Chain A
């Protein structure tokens, strides 16, 4: 049976892992390769490196950070942040990324999804959607959550799939960094609308939140950062908890 994946996200700025609340108020959380090593030993299923300032400052994702993490890890590694062109994606892949995550660039230039899917395969193309509730509609935001994308999150996820995306990384801006739980309604709405896997992100605070997002939220994978970075819980403890509640995981 296919396991539900637990993915650790390393939000990287200037070669250091940082994590903020509601995309702001960053504080340092450690060396990326060091954290990656620890998560791998604990049984993390996948890693995401997000160069969080890349889009705003128009910098490319840090190839050195990717190389340092990819050198010793033999699990899937996705890289996002500042990937605007095919050349940016190629640089990330050449440095050791298995998947690239497109966000702002995918929305402004959707054909980039298809271009990359044709070059590397759909499995290598992750479309990241940052969404925020506006009434009863989940609205897409871009540029690190600062700018309205003028799109409905569910519709955009379906279009991304049609254009060749292999997975959707769905982040709730409302929940990001709050530790009050994943947005299960948002996750379920997107997961039911597409046939590709949906990775839920934003709001993890307790082990129970992960149970909720895999059951109520119908997520295929869950991504978290701060809950792991500050050793509030280990990946192994989380997976044991999930397994005891009948959720298939890799132990």
Chain B
């Protein structure tokens, strides 16, 4: 079973439904110790980085322990930003620190913020999370903060300036867009994650 972390940052129905369409059942753990039996972990979420405060040291410890045992982790939108060291949106809160760098607000350089809508992906390098995703694919975004482009960046998207839209380091992956709302391309990304799990 795959654990879907609910920290009350938005609605999980769509994520659950999209995984369900691919035949994967997700459970929502109520206590951090339930993660010990999870085959993989999905951290979704929209909204403010401060929402991750709900996931205190106990949850962070349990997630890092399971990832340390080789279990795949997927962060979606705010969940992807949480994989990094932190965010200027809530400077006092630590992220998981699995990826290097801090998240920041996308500059409003002649573009509207928040970044809402379908945008393209420019691949930095290929990794398993983007298997069978074509070079001209577009995906659905809705966010104001972004993660920096680093060596873990799989794809870059530009809205005024470039940011990391897909990241992967080993069995830890993240997507800034919403795969559950990105049509067939999004479902393919979720399918690729499931291939890392089973």
Taking the nearest CB of chain B, how far is it from the CB of A165, in angstroms?
11
- Bin the interface of chain B by size: 35 or more
The chain A residue sitting closest to B182, CB to CB, is A74
Question: Is A74's CB under 8 angstroms from B181's CB?
Answer: yes
Contact check: which of A3, A98, A197 meets B14 at CB < 8 Å? A98
Give Cα A130–Cα B56 distance, bound, in whole angstroms: 44
Residue among A121, A122, A167 with max Cβ neighbours from chain B (10 Å) = A121
| Residues of chain B contacted by A167 (CB below 8 angstroms) | 116
Say yes or no for A12: interface residue by CB 8 A criterion: no
Residue among A94, A123, A166 with max Cβ neighbours from chain B (10 Å) = A123
Interface residues of A in 170-223 (CB under 8 A from B): 195-197, 220-221
Question: Is A93's CB under 8 angstroms from B117's CB?
Answer: no
| Residues of chain A contacted by B18 (CB below 8 angstroms) | 74
Interface residues of B in 108-164 (CB under 8 A from A): 108, 111-120, 138, 140, 142-143, 158-159
Question: Is B13's CB under 8 angstroms from A220's CB?
Answer: no
Question: Is A2's CB under 8 angstroms from B114's CB?
Answer: no
Contact check: which of A3, A120, A196 meets B10 at CB < 8 Å? A120
Given A121-B9, A121-B46, also A96-B17 (CB < 8 A):
yes
Give Cα A192–Cα B169 distance, bound, in whole angstroms: 41
Say yes or no for B54: interface residue by CB 8 A criterion: no
- A-B pair count, CB < 8 Å, reads 91
Question: Is A2's CB under 8 angstroms from B117's CB?
Answer: yes
| Residues of chain B contacted by A96 (CB below 8 angstroms) | 13-14, 17
Taking the nearest CB of chain A, how far is it from the CB of B162, in angstroms?
12
Given A3-B118, A5-B118, A74-B183, also A121-B10 (CB < 8 A):
yes
Say yes or no for A51: interface residue by CB 8 A criterion: no
Given A121-B46, A220-B117, also A2-B187 (CB < 8 A):
no
Chain A interface helix/strand/loop/mixed: loop
Question: Is A2's CB under 8 angstroms from B159's CB?
Answer: yes
Given A93-B13, A122-B114, also A1-B158 (CB < 8 A):
yes
| Residues of chain A contacted by B112 (CB below 8 angstroms) | 195-197, 220
Give Cα A53–Cα B51 distance, bound, in whole angstroms: 37
Interface residues of A in 56-78 (CB under 8 A from B): 70-72, 74-76
Contact check: which of A4, A72, A93, A123 meets B114 at CB < 8 Å? A123
The count of residues in chain A whose C-beta lies closer than 8 Å to any C-beta of chain B is 30
Residue among B13, B18, B142, B158 with max Cβ neighbours from chain A (10 Å) = B142
| Residues of chain A contacted by B115 (CB below 8 angstroms) | 2
Say yes or no for B47: interface residue by CB 8 A criterion: yes
B174-196 to A contact mask, C-beta < 8 Å, 1/0: 00000011111011000000000
Question: Is B13's CB under 8 angstroms from A94's CB?
Answer: yes
Say yes or no for B11: interface residue by CB 8 A criterion: yes
Residue among B11, B108, B159 with max Cβ neighbours from chain A (10 Å) = B11
Question: Is B117's CB under 8 angstroms from A197's CB?
Answer: yes
Question: Is A45's CB under 8 angstroms from B17's CB?
Answer: no
Question: Is B119's CB under 8 angstroms from A1's CB?
Answer: yes
The chain A residue sitting closest to B48, CB to CB, is A121
| Residues of chain A contacted by B11 (CB below 8 angstroms) | 93, 98, 120, 124
Binding site for A on B (CB under 8 A): 9-11, 13-14, 17-18, 21, 46-48, 108, 111-120, 138, 140, 142-143, 158-159, 180-184, 186-187
Give 18 new A-B contacts, CB below 8 A, not counting A74-B18, A166-B116, A250-B138.
Answer: A2-B115, A2-B117, A2-B119, A2-B159, A3-B117, A4-B117, A40-B183, A72-B21, A74-B17, A75-B183, A93-B13, A98-B181, A121-B9, A121-B47, A124-B10, A166-B142, A197-B116, A220-B117
The 10 closest A-B pairs by CB, nearest first: A121-B47, A123-B142, A250-B138, A250-B118, A121-B46, A3-B118, A197-B116, A2-B119, A76-B181, A5-B117
